[in-house]
Amino acid sequence: METLNYLRIPPELLQAVLDNPFEGMVIIDDQGIIRHFSRANEPLYQITASEAVGRHIRDVIPTSGLPEVVHSGKPHFGDTFDMNGRKVIVNRYPIKLGGKIIGAVGKMIFHDLKAFIALKHKIGELENTVRRYELEIREIYRARYSFADVIGKSAKLNHAKDAAERLAASASPILLIGESGTGKEIFAHAIHQASSRRNHSFIRVNCASIPSELFESELFGYKAGAFTGALKSGKPGKFELAHRGTIFLDEVGELPLGLQAKLLRVLQEKEIEPLGSPRPKMIDFRVIAATNRDLEERVRTGYFRRDLFYRLNVISIQLPPLREIKEDIPVLAGHFLMKLRRRMSSSVSAIAPEVMAIFLAYDWPGNVRELENVMERALALCQDSTILPEHLPESFVRVRTDSASEGIKPKLNDDLLHLAVHDAERDQLLEALRRTGGNKTEAAALLNIHRTTLYFRIKKYGIKPVNIGRTGE
Ligand SMILES: Nc1ncnc2c1ncn2[C@@H]1O[C@H](COP(=O)(O)OP(=O)(O)OP(=O)(O)O)[C@@H](O)[C@H]1O
Ligand SMILES: [Mg+2]
């Protein structure tokens, strides 16, 4: 009674707890004598509590595991045990006083296993659902491009491609720098695809388009009921979705200063705190950032945090603007011709030399994306088999006149043009042969040329079977 006084629990309250009707509880002392037998047990053992108390546990429950717990001092949780032909789940644990075992408690968790089995079943179903959603998320957030989709063989592009391929396997952050339309997004996908994280998500965050007030909930997520208007289920943030994968911070140079601090913290700590959650969560991610801005300049002018810049700029890869890799224009134009032909079910199969000349003279402020768009427009307009200058936008036709009459813009060298057309034609031929598995009749049909022309070109470009196999690139 002294102990009870010390606990300040009135004895009748304690009694009510021990004897509550929802729990079957048995307490024995170190001699195995029943000291407490809650009334919930009465119908199960067909003995009244007052009859049970004072008797040895084995007399009342012959199979009880409680004497063993007193003996070993070790608890047993979740044991199933048979009672009148029905299984029940029991937790048993020793009670100690001053390091000495003075007895043991047995508590029945489920009088009826049915409830337990139903719960287990439900959990199994939920686990399946989670697995299904994980697969779906992986599908939604997988990388869509690999290095095979990066077209071009200029030294500058190759340099970038080689570096990216080599660094894909490392865990370091990578900063992709390049003007709009130079392939930063393609590169980010390809790096993820070539890394050991390829089977996990690739999550793109457009730093230029997240409203400040939503930044934290978008990136770090929130728990159910974190704020009014929050989803009931809570929402995972982008970082959480990127767990074990790659997070691609696109247009990172546009991120407002206030948010840069928050981003830096996550990159340093590698943990997030979802709004409304009491605990931070460790996240394993790789960062790829991209910008078309001169970030160093932004740092100097105070628009970009120096510490964040250093954190992102561990390795930087510069993607060349198209005007600096003009030798790639023919092969890129040829690539888009092939790709768009298929998509648009067009029968256009060639690009007139004049068009290629204009392409080579043009400045391409929109880079590869602009080339892709121009090709798409031309294919849509072209009724015949060859793209002609008339299928190009106004501004392009002016390039031709300008460069022809006044010699401004990069001058078109006849040799270069010849080479370019040569290259484009050869690449188209190779692509057609590859896609038809070397079948010349089919390749000729694909290119919309006569078989004899095809033979002539194969000879002209010295194409050998080995060139069309997969051994080449
Ligand atoms: N080397 C390349 N080979 C094939 N396609 C390319 C290449 N570079 C860019 N592209 C294509 O050009 C388009 C623009 O590329 P991407 O979206 O990667 O550019 P970006 O650098 O992210 O541009 P922005 O800064 O405007 O977002 C895409 O359709 C992409 O597939
Ligand atoms: Mg982009």
Kindly write down the DSSP assignment for every residue of 97-156, as one continuous string.
ETTEEEEEEEEEEES-HHHHHHHHHHHHHHHHHHHHHHHHHHHHTS----GGG-----HH
152 Cβ below 6 A of ligand 1 = yes
Residue 425: per-residue pLDDT: 74
- Read off the pLDDT band of 407 (50, 70, 90): very low
Which fold would CATH assign to domain 147-320? Rossmann fold (3.40.50)
Q: Please state, rounded to an integer, the average pLDDT across all residues of the chain.
A: 85
- What is the pLDDT, as a whole number, of residue 224? 72
Note the pLDDT of residue 249: 96
Model confidence at 317: pLDDT above 90: yes
pLDDT of residue 405: 41
- Angstrom distance (rounded) from CA 10 to CA 23: 20
Residues 6+ apart with CB under 8 A from 120: none
Checking if the pLDDT of 110 tops 80, the result is: no
Q: How far apart are CA 330 and CA 419, in angstroms?
A: 9
Q: Give 277's pLDDT tier (boundaries 50, 70, 90).
A: confident
pLDDT of 411 higher than 50: no
Distance 251 CA to ligand 2 centre (A): 7
Q: What is the pLDDT of residue 45?
A: 83
Residue 469, pLDDT > 60, answer no
Q: What is the number of helices (H) and of strands (E) in the chain? A: 22, 16
Nearest CA to ligand 1 atom 29: 369
Residue 185 in contact with ligand 1 by CB distance below 6 A: yes
pLDDT of residue 330 exceeding 70, the answer is yes
Radius of gyration of the chain (CA): 37
Q: Indicate whether 35 pLDDT > 50.
A: yes
- Ligand 1 site, residue 328, Cβ cutoff 6 A: no
Task: List, for residues 343-380, the tens digit of each pLDDT value.
Answer: 898 889 889 988 999 999 999 999 999 999 999 999 99
The residue ranking higher by pLDDT, 401 or 56, is 56
Give the burial class of 369: count Cβ atoms within 10 A of its Cβ; 0-12 exposed, 13-18 middle, 19 or more buried: middle
Beta bridge partners of 97: 100
Decide: 226 and 276 in contact? Cβ < 8 Å. Answer: yes
Looking at the predicted structure, is the pLDDT value of residue 168 above 90? Answer: yes
Domain 2-113: assigned CATH number: 3.30.450.20
Look up residue 147 and give its two tokens. 């290095």
Q: What percentage of the chain exceeds 70 in pLDDT?
A: 86
pLDDT, position 113: 61
Write down the pLDDT at residue 457.
85
Whether ligand 1 lies within 6 angstroms of the CB of 180 is answered as yes
Backbone φ/ψ region at 205: left (φ over 0), alpha (ψ -120 to 50), beta: beta
Integer Cα distance of 73 and 389 in angstroms: 91
Tell me if 150 CB under 6 Å of ligand 1: yes
247 is written with which tokens? 């997070």
- pLDDT one-digit tens code per residue, 189-204: 999 999 999 989 999 9
- Is the distance from CB of 63 to CB of 26 less than 8 angstroms? no
Q: What's the pLDDT score for residue 195?
A: 95
Whether 369 is in the pocket of ligand 1, judged by its Cβ within 6 Å, is yes
pLDDT band at 419 (very low <50, low <70, confident <90, very high): low
**What average pLDDT does the segment 431-448 reach?**
83
Tokens of 183: 């392939």
The per-residue pLDDT for 379 is 95
Answer whether 399's CB lies under 8 Å from 354's CB: no
Contact 146, 164 (CB under 8 A): no
Q: pLDDT band at 85, cuts 50/70/90?
A: low
| Whether residue 34 has its Cβ less than 6 Å from ligand 1 | no
Taking Cα atoms as reference points, which of 25, 12, 32, 20 lies closest to residue 108? 25
* Whole-number Å distance between alpha carbons of 105 and 15: 15
Query: Tell me, what's the pLDDT at 7?
Result: 66
pLDDT of the residue at 410: 39
Ligand nearest to the CA of 370: 1
- Structure token pair of residue 444: 């000729």
State the pLDDT at residue 306.
Answer: 96
Q: Which residue has the higher pLDDT, 377 or 449?
A: 377
Give the pLDDT score at 118. Answer: 79
Taking CA atoms only, the protein residue closest to ligand 1 atom 25 is 180
- pLDDT of 471: 38
Give the ligand 1 atom nearest the CA of 176. 21
The 10 Å Cβ neighbour count of residue 21 is 8
Mean pLDDT of 307-312: 95
Domain boundaries, the chain: 2-113, 147-320, 324-468
Quote the pLDDT of residue 446. Answer: 79
Q: Which of 275, 346, 327 is nearest to 152 (CA)?
A: 327
Distance 177 CA to ligand 1 centre (A): 12
Strand (E) positions, 361-431? 386-387
pLDDT at 94 over 70: yes
Least confident piece of the model among 1-10, 208-217, 259-268, 305-314: 1-10
Rounded distance, CA 95 to CA 402, Å?
97
Give the CATH number of domain 324-468.
Answer: 1.10.8.60
